[in-house]
Amino acid sequence: MSKDSSESGEKALYEPIKNSLSRLLGYYIEKDKKPRFQRRPFEFEDNPHLEITASGEISERLKREFDNETFLILGSEGKFPDIMGFIKRKESGDRELITVEVKNQPIELMHIFQAQLYQVIFHSTLGFLISPKGITERRVRFITSPTGKFIRGRVIILQFNGNVYDKPTFECNPRLRDVVPKSLRKYFELSDKK
């Protein structure tokens, strides 16, 4: 497969992955214990807020979440994660940045390095690497070994299954869940039981 056809196949995944990831992140948000009767208008903004940023176009709303160091890096390198955004886990908490790298091929070590780099550069709390082809058992064994653990860092590696009714939308290898936040692990544990 040529690089151009791989990239166009990858672009076709951005929107469905963004929408599905938005639903998955609902498990990450802490729900209010008490009903709220009166809300201010700004409380109705998207949570999570995700944008396709692969082309380098980033909304002003998302830019406000970056620090000065991140702006310098953006200007000098011109490299962007495929999807970026933020989430507010608790109503009284701060927003947490999200970076997502999408691949249309089986996940390789260099893809993991790239996703980890974006997570570090953008100071994102949640860094994802997502592919419909998943990750091979051989690579899982390597990145979970003492030698390979530094490669993954805190990147959450997922397989995207699309909107298939007999499978969950996302799968995460049980041995790679150690970096998945506890509230998101519930989704994968429920998926395992299906």
90: CB partners within 8 A, 6+ apart: 30
Q: How many helices (H) and strands (E) does the chain have?
A: 7, 6
**Of 39, 67, 63, which Cα lies nearest the Cα of 49?**
63
pLDDT tens-place string over residues 24-57: 998 888 775 544 544 444 444 678 999 999 988 8
Percent of the chain with pLDDT over 90: 51
Average pLDDT in the 77-104 region?
Answer: 89
Asked whether residue 112 carries a pLDDT value surpassing 90, the answer given is yes
Percent of the chain with pLDDT over 70: 84
